[in-house]
Amino acid sequence: MSDREGKPAQERVTRESLHAPIRPFRARMVSRVIAVTELVVVGAPAFLVARSGVGAFTLGDRLSILALGVIIAAGIFRFSMLSAIPSEEGIVVHNIVRTVRLEWAQIVSVRFGGGNPWVLLDLDDGDTMSVMAVQRADGARGEAEAQRLATLVALHSQTPRDS
């Protein structure tokens, strides 16, 4: 089956699919499993510790241990929230600590090589920015997402003379 332009249905890429959110695969799964495991490993002993003997933990001690476990699990879980959300106007990059909104005109190029663990955007002010949502650990999927991001930058940086 092909479309009006003779392209096979599998090769058609819609503008909407190009603008779909970008999220890592392995980092999301691994961080969720580790966060839950860490919470169980720290939280369970906080409530199972015996209250007798010289080294008995008070309720305050146990709640403090549990609170520390929740804080650590939340930090680990933050890795599962990495994303890059493209739109017609630009892209919103959610990394671990920062969320940055960029217009397409600010992005000069997309790099995903040289041993970098994730995509780097070269910006028009001479700076670079990591997009942790596109990771080398995802293998071919990461390469495809980097290519999609480069396609978006090229698509949105076209001028009327480029058409």
Q: Over its length of 163 residues, how does the chain's per-residue pLDDT go in tens digits?
A: 444 444 444 445 677 788 899 999 888 899 999 999 998 998 887 777 755 555 667 788 888 888 999 999 999 999 989 999 999 999 999 999 999 999 999 999 999 988 889 999 999 999 999 999 999 989 999 999 999 999 999 988 875 554 4
Alpha helices in the chain (DSSP H): 15-18, 26-48, 59-77, 140-156
CA separation for the pair 108, 123 (Å, rounded): 5
Q: How high is the pLDDT of residue 42?
A: 87
CA separation for the pair 160, 147 (Å, rounded): 23
pTM of this prediction? 0.75
CA separation for the pair 23, 85 (Å, rounded): 9
Q: How high is the pLDDT of residue 85?
A: 95
Bridge partners, residue 44, by sequence: none
Q: How high is the pLDDT of residue 70?
A: 92
Residue type, 94: H
Tokens of 120: 């780097």
CB 91 within 8 Å of CB 104? yes
Q: Is 70 exposed, middle or buried (0-12, 13-18, 19+ CB in 10 A)?
A: middle
